[in-house]
């Protein structure tokens, strides 16, 4: 309990600097006295989970505090808490031993009761990115998770992004998982829906909206998981991946009019009109057989060219949003495991005749986003496979046997937002692996805005008449209140 209490808050220290003994006399002109400057220093409480194995790949459960060394940005840190989770159960290695029994009384040894779960799962069903045709695959996937991954005593929660309307708070009741399985229903956009939908300024608006719903849902969940300490938390993210500008050529009607594949007929018509107005036409137009229509040329097709220019930074926008997710996960000490319910992806459906090159590009980019979420948090992306047994076995092992090391960062410099963590073991022949190699500080809270009508700092205010007997200098400034604690 003592070790856990250390993580209930981080310490914010307010240092008020001023000259009091040698303060100059107050000027007679009545100029307002400037308040002394306030400096805030943030001390980070950091937890890091590691797995230690011998040369045979077997977990080593008998290490002590003296066996570990933790370095942050190359500076050795003082370990103040150490928990060992073995078989999903928590053991506080630094806890004080039980009190000795009085002399002359024979009592059985005290058995410490520990009903705290060491395995915490959050399952995210991104049904806004899962097509309806894959609903059965998703349900079968979670039935397998219920049997092979979630065990008695595991704490888990489930949330969805769309019409499945699943929101199960953290619970030990596995029946809640079985009940949620029957509600899982894919509601993702089909390729034809994306291709024929109108495009916004930066690409398909509906595609971005659905992705933002998923990202915001997980940001909120990770904020809550950050409050749970001394545990390794696993986020199992089930989705078909993300792409802000899928099927671009088909959406903008930039394919040949003779193409047998899907494309936006409205955009294609506009392109042909623009080409005719600019003195160019399609290659199959007998009225101008010597001219070749280039739909990507701004001279021939300014509307499509402008839209392509607006979508240039769509991939960069997606990368930035994924980076925000992974930073939040690393702050919360949460490992993300992504699962693509499509399994081994082949050609598109026959009733959705998408150009093969564009379909392969869409699959590649969407799976790449799932790899980014997993690999940047120390997890695994389960993509392009139909056999989930190996993946479940790894997740089970990763969340069952590990150490959680805690320390207060000795680097209070707030300008060093990104900090590298290196954990070493003194014993020879052991291998240390950790889910994360760094963490990023959360931005410090901003000062409260002054109420309407309050004069800005340095602006003299009209003083009210003081009551009789009040000193002319007034009361000293009130020290700043403590900021909300944070931990990592």
- For 254-290, the DSSP string reads -S-TT-SS---HHHHHHHHHHHHHTT---TT-TTSTT
**pLDDT tens-digit map of 115-170:** 455 689 999 999 999 999 999 999 999 999 999 999 888 899 999 999 999 999 99
**pLDDT higher for 50 or 462?**
50
**pLDDT higher for 98 or 471?**
98
Report the b/e string of 5-29 with b at 16+ CB within 10 A: ebbeebebeeeeeeeeeeeeeeeee
Q: Where are the chain's structural domains?
A: 119-245+315-398, 253-308
Single out the residue of 245, 261, 235 nearest to residue 120, CA to CA: 235
| Other CB atoms within 10 Å distance of the CB of residue 36 | 12
Q: How many residues does the chain have?
A: 488
**pLDDT tens-digit map of 362-399:** 999 999 999 999 999 989 999 999 889 888 998 898 88
CATH 2.40.40.20 for the 119-245+315-398 domain, yes or no: no
**pLDDT tens-digit map of 411-427:** 767 677 788 889 999 88
């Amino acid at each position: 309990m003592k070790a856990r209490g250390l993580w209930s808050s981080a310490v914010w220290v307010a240092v008020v600097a001023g000259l009091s003994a040698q303060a100059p006399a107050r000027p007679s002109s009545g100029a307002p006295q400037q308040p002394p400057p306030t400096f805030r220093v943030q001390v980070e409480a950091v937890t890091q989970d590691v797995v230690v194995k011998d040369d045979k790949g077997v977990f080593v459960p008998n290490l002590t505090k003296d066996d570990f060394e933790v370095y942050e940005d190359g500076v050795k840190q003082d370990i103040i808490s150490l928990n060992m989770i073995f078989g999903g159960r928590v053991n506080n290695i630094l806890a004080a031993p039980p009190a000795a029994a009085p002399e002359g009384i024979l009592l059985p040894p005290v058995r410490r009761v520990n009903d705290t779960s060491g395995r915490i799962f959050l399952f995210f069903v991104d049904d806004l990115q899962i097509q309806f045709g894959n609903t059965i695959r998703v349900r079968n996937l979670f039935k397998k998770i219920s049997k092979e991954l979630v065990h008695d005593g595991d704490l888990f929660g489930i949330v969805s992004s769309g019409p499945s309307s699943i929101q199960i708070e953290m619970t030990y009741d596995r029946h809640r998982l079985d009940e949620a399985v029957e509600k899982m229903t894919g509601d993702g956009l089909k390729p034809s829906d994306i291709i024929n939908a109108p495009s916004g300024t930066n690409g398909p608006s509906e595609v971005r909206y659905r992705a933002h719903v998923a990202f915001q849902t997980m940001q909120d969940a990770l904020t809550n998981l950050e409050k749970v300490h001394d545990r390794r938390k696993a986020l199992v993210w089930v989705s078909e991946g993300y792409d802000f500008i899928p099927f671009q050529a088909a959406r903008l009607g930039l394919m040949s009019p003779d193409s047998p594949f899907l494309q936006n007929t409205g955009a294609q018509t506009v392109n042909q009109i623009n080409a005719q107005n600019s003195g160019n036409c399609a290659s199959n137009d007998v009225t101008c057989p010597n001219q070749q229509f280039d739909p990507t040329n701004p001279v021939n097709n300014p509307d499509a060219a402008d839209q392509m220019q607006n979508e240039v930074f769509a991939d960069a926008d997606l990368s930035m949003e994924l980076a925000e997710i992974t930073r939040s996960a690393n702050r919360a000490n949460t490992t993300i495991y992504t699962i693509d319910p499509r399994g081994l992806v082949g050609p598109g459906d026959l009733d959705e005749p998408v150009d093969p090159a564009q379909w392969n590009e869409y699959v590649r980019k969407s799976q790449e986003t799932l790899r980014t979420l997993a690999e940047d948090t120390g997890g695994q992306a389960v993509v392009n496979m139909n056999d989930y047994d190996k993946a479940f076995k790894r997740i089970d092992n990763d969340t069952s046997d590990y150490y959680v090391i805690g320390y207060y960062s000795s680097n209070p410099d707030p300008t060093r937002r990104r900090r590298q963590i290196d954990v070493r073991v003194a014993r020879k022949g052991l291998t240390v692996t950790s889910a994360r190699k760094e963490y990023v500080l959360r931005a410090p809270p901003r000062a409260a805005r002054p109420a309407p009508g309050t004069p800005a700092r340095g602006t003299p205010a009209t003083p009210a008449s003081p009551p009789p007997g009040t000193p002319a200098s007034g009361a000293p400034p009130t020290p700043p209140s403590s900021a909300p604690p944070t931990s990592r």
